[in-house]
Chain A
Amino acid sequence: MKVFLYLLLAIGAIFNGLGAFALIRFPDVYTRIHGATKCTTFGSIFSILAVVIYGFVKGGGEGGTLAIHALLALFFLLITNPTGSHALARGAHRAGVRPVGAVVDRLEEKE
């Protein structure tokens, strides 16, 4: 049981780290949004899943409350994170930031 929790936490930490390093490594805004959004969302799913399982195993009022609230936080994170990154990408394109080394840019042709 404990090993399983540690495994989930480790996977979450690894993918969150991947997101943070993608932010440093990639060349322009859009590719950074790619890395940051995907990896932090996926990593947070595992981190919070560890908390949920821990709460349900602990049981009782306190553990149940912890699990349900963590699940709700995960739900909101899963909805808001891609939406926010989508808004940022659109704002960046409207602000005049072009993708570096793009082979095709249909949105610019439209505007």
Chain B
Amino acid sequence: MRKWGAWATSAVFIYIVYLILTLWTGELGLWSLGELITGAVIALLGAIPLGNIVWKRGDVRLLQPHRWILFLFYLIGPFFFSMARANIDVAYRVITGRIKPGIVRFQPHLKTDFGRTLLANSITLTPGTLTVDVDDGTGEFYVHWIYVKNPEPRPEEVCGPFPTWARRIAE
């Protein structure tokens, strides 16, 4: 039962991407009949290998729509702001060359794959930090920090409010 659910969800996602790619191509409203049928076939076939991999740990809570709205808000608000700050920071370091690098470890207490991916990508794109490795069992993050202030940091020191956001969105 759960396997069928994962398969159907993946098929729907592939179909949506296909429909977005083929907008304004036909006479049946926005799409043509051939495109709709081809897309359905591709989605059903593509979901066979995808379904088992993506939803392996049962991250079905990600399908609740209020999480998507939260994600969009996060993307436009705090994430974009700190990304702009990150670029100014890199510009400063390119010009002055002041670096004091190191790889630190911290434990953000995230359990699902999507939460970890979201946090890792956020860390990589925000000021002065880069995810090097994530321990798959314990969920510890190994982060390359371009200017180490504290070799034993708490999560808030490295990446600000992002663990809270990742938990709010994905878990």
Contacts and interface: CB of A to CB of B under 8 A. Distances in A.
Is the A/B pair a real complex?
yes
Interface of A: 15, 18, 21-22, 25-28, 30-31, 33-35, 37-39, 41-42, 61, 64-65, 68-69, 72, 79, 82-83, 85-86, 89-90, 93, 99-108, 110
Contacts of A79: 121
Interface stretch (B3-11, B59-67, B128-136, B162-170): B128-136
Nearest to A99: B101
Contacts of B104: 104, 106
A82 to B, nearest CB: 4
B50 interface: no
Contacts of B17: 72
B21 interface: yes
A104 B94 contact: no
Contacts of B42: none
B111 interface: no
Contact of A99 (B128, B131, B144): B144
Q: Which of the listed residues B21, B24, B83, B94 has the most CB atoms from chain A within 10 Å of its own CB?
A: B94
B90 A105 contact: no
A106 B24 contact: no
Interface in B95-127: 97, 99-105, 117, 120-121, 124-125
A103 B101 contact: yes
Interface residues of B, number: 36
Contact of A30 (B21, B87, B132): B132
A86 B23 contact: no
A22 B144 CA distance: 17
A100 B24 CA distance: 53
Nearest to A63: B24
Given A26-B94, A65-B24, A93-B132, A104 B103 contact: yes
A37 B125 contact: yes
Contacts of B151: 103-104
B124 A85 contact: yes
8 closest Cβ pairs, A-B complex = A104-B102, A106-B105, A82-B124, A82-B121, A104-B151, A61-B24, A103-B102, A107-B142
A12 B80 CA distance: 15
A38 B86 contact: yes
A64 B131 CA distance: 37
B90 A64 contact: no
A105 B102 contact: yes
Given A34-B90, A38-B124, A106-B105, 13 more contacts: A25-B94, A34-B128, A38-B87, A41-B125, A61-B24, A72-B17, A72-B21, A86-B124, A89-B132, A89-B133, A90-B133, A106-B142, A108-B103
